[in-house]
């Protein structure tokens, strides 16, 4: 699958033992944000989660080239420009609450898996609801805090994938994003119920990234997740985000 590139400013970001200077601005939001901004229940709300997935699919698979409310597809160069500022009211709080109560989860056979979408824990989270009242991305993210640790990992992976799309790493964080190795390892771990310790470690690392923190395993005097980070990805505005297929750039 082809990766995407986001054009923005430059930021030095560290995650675990990895530290790199990337040619893009890291942008992130919490799992809670993505879960409650995946619908249009309230006046003035935007389904940001779905628009991000559609924007990425437009540049990768060319399956949906239509403009959305906040994203515009450029037929000349194949890029998509999105502007989610201000993000508006949470558009799916009720759906999120309902998802926590029903029996549909990312890892259950009843999950409304689609043909195209972001790949998480062996499932495809699509924008097509397939008759489901609750969007698949909400089912994946809105799980009970005291629930199965694998579902919590799936929640953090889904949020990380959306953040990585905004940051130019595609839905699997490949390429410029500094959590590429962590994401790949944790996504594999998500489908293995025998790695409970690794699952919990993955949850902590991905939650740290999604909250705009910096994971630090090198300094024994520091907390593993440092939240006092200059130019945190959580503070970056969701504005003028340009997503494009990097393969087109390679061919030029």
- Reference 135, options 49, 20, 218; nearest CA is 49
> Which burial class, exposed, middle or buried, applies to 224 when counting CB atoms under 10 A from its CB (0-12, 13-18, 19+)?
middle
Domain extents for the chain? 4-251
From the CB of residue 165, how many other CB atoms can be counted at a distance below 10 Å?
28
pLDDT for the residue 56: 87
Q: Which three-class secondary structure state does DSSP give residue 177?
A: coil
pLDDT for the residue 251: 42
pLDDT for the residue 179: 85
- Reference 186, options 176, 200, 174, 175; nearest CA is 200
pLDDT for the residue 17: 31
Alpha carbons 156 and 135: distance in angstroms, whole number: 17
What burial letters (b/e) apply to 24-63, b meaning 16+ CB within 10 Å?
bbbbbbbbbbbbbbbbbbeeebbbbbbbbbbbbbbbbeee
Put residue 231 in one of left, alpha, beta given phi > 0 → left and psi -120 to 50 → alpha.
left
* pLDDT tens per residue across all 252 residues of the chain: 333 333 332 222 233 333 333 335 789 999 999 999 999 888 889 999 999 998 888 887 765 666 678 888 888 877 788 899 999 899 999 999 999 999 899 999 999 988 889 999 999 999 877 777 899 999 999 998 777 899 999 999 999 999 999 888 888 988 756 788 899 999 999 988 677 789 989 999 999 999 998 887 666 555 588 888 788 899 999 987 777 664 444 443
Does the N-terminal peptide bond of residue 86 adopt cis geometry, omega within 30 degrees of 0?
yes
Q: DSSP assignment, residue 193? A: T
Alpha carbons 216 and 204: distance in angstroms, whole number: 12
Alpha carbons 246 and 79: distance in angstroms, whole number: 10
pLDDT for the residue 66: 62
């Amino acid at each position: 699958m082809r990766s995407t590139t986001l054009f923005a400013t430059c930021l030095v970001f560290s995650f675990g033992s990895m530290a790199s200077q990337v040619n893009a601005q890291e942008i992130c939001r919490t799992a809670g944000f993505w879960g409650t901004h995946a619908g249009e229940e309230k006046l003035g709300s935007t389904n940001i989660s779905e628009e991000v997935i559609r924007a990425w699919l437009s540049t990768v698979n060319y399956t949906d080239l239509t403009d959305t409310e906040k994203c515009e597809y450029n037929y000349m160069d194949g890029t998509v420009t999105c502007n989610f500022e201000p993000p508006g009211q949470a558009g799916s709080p009720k759906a999120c609450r309902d998802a926590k109560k029903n029996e549909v989860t990312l890892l259950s056979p009843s999950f409304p898996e689609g043909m195209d979408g972001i790949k998480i824990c062996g499932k495809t989270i699509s924008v097509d609801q397939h008759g489901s009242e609750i969007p698949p991305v909400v089912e994946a993210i809105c799980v009970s805090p005291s629930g199965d640790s694998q579902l919590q990992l799936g929640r953090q992976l889904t949020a990380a994938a959306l953040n990585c799309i905004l940051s130019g790493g595609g839905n699997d964080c490949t390429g410029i994003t500094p959590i590429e190795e962590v994401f790949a390892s944790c996504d594999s771990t998500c489908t293995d119920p025998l790695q409970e310790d690794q699952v919990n470690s993955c949850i902590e690392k991905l939650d740290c990234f999604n909250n705009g923190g910096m994971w630090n395993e090198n300094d024994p005097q520091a907390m593993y997740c440092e939240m006092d980070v200059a130019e945190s990805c959580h503070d970056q505005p969701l504005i003028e985000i340009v997503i494009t297929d990097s393969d087109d750039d390679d061919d030029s």
